[in-house]
Structure 1
Amino acid sequence: MIGIFLITHGSLGEALIQCACHVLNKRPPHIVQLGVSAQDDPLDLLPLARQMLSWADAGQGVLLLTDIYGATPSNIATKLLAPGHVEGIAGVNLPMLLRVLTYRDKDMPTLVQRAVSGGCDGVLHMK
């Protein structure tokens, strides 16, 4: 099972996890989140992020999900990437997270593809 690590602004990551728990009626294993606030120094958070990455890793790698590419949470996530073992996706939303939780028993390339498509397919113009 591929672990999931959300690094987001504030409490967004925990809110997404709580929503996913509501939909799934349970808290999935090997999922952690790190909320970054405006007062946090990214260099101070990096050792904690590395430790949390190890908590999420069940041996098959970790998918990092972050909210805005180029912002502090994604910059922290970028420092943790290890191609093939720790992959990262920016733009996390609830449809993406639910897709990731559904396909995390697949291989990493498949999971990355399903995560991106789930995030994009979850954005619809309602008429």
Structure 2
Amino acid sequence: MINLIIVTHGKLSKGLVSAAQVIVGKTENITVHSLNPGDNITDFEKQVKNSIIQKMKEGNVLVLTDIPGGSPTNVSIAAMQDLDFECLTGTNLGMLLEAITARSSATDFKKYVEQVMDAGTASIHNLKKELQ
């Protein structure tokens, strides 16, 4: 089983899941963590790490974060010091949709992670340039 954990600033994690559900329907095995103004970063780090630990008991874990260098990414990096999971940053809806739809047929977790990352990159387009 592949478990997804989305760690972002504000309501982005919940919004991404909500948008994905509009497209693919009900989703399972997705945990979200939102860092909000005034949140204690140490508590947030513990919450994220505890979620990763719990989900690792069920299978592989892919953590998706919003931006490189941001606190959600940094707490995920901190958890990687002790735990074995994958983490991608720069998450967008295309990446999340791939993560959701491809995981049921994934046989190689490392290839799955690469596929998810590639989908995120492939979903970025300069439409003005493409239409010229």
Above 0.5 in TM-score?
yes
Name the CA shift for 1:95/1:82 in 2 (closer, same or farther; >3 Å).
farther
What is aligned with 2:123?
122
Contact 1:6 1:13 in 2 (8 A): yes
CA distance in 2: counterparts of 1:85 and 1:60, whole angstroms = 11
Moved more, 86-95 or 71-80: 71-80
1:24 to 2:10 alignment: no
What is aligned with 1:61?
60
Name the CA shift for 1:60/1:82 in 2 (closer, same or farther; >3 Å).
farther
What is aligned with 1:76?
75
CA distance in 2: counterparts of 1:58 and 1:23, whole angstroms = 29
Query: More helix by proportion, 1 or 2?
Result: 2
Q: CA deviation at 1:110?
A: 1.1
Can you give the 5+ residue segments of structure 1 that lack an aligned partner in the other structure?
none
Q: TM-score, normalising length from structure 1?
A: 0.89
RMSD: 1.9
Q: CA deviation at 1:53?
A: 2.2
1:1-127 to 2 correspondences below 5 Å: 1-26=1-26, 28-57=27-56, 59-81=58-80, 85-105=84-104, 106=106, 107-126=108-127, 127=131
State the 4+ residue runs in structure 1 displaced beyond 6 angstroms. Answer: none
Q: TM-score, normalising length from structure 2?
A: 0.86
Contact 2:49 2:76 in 1 (8 A): no
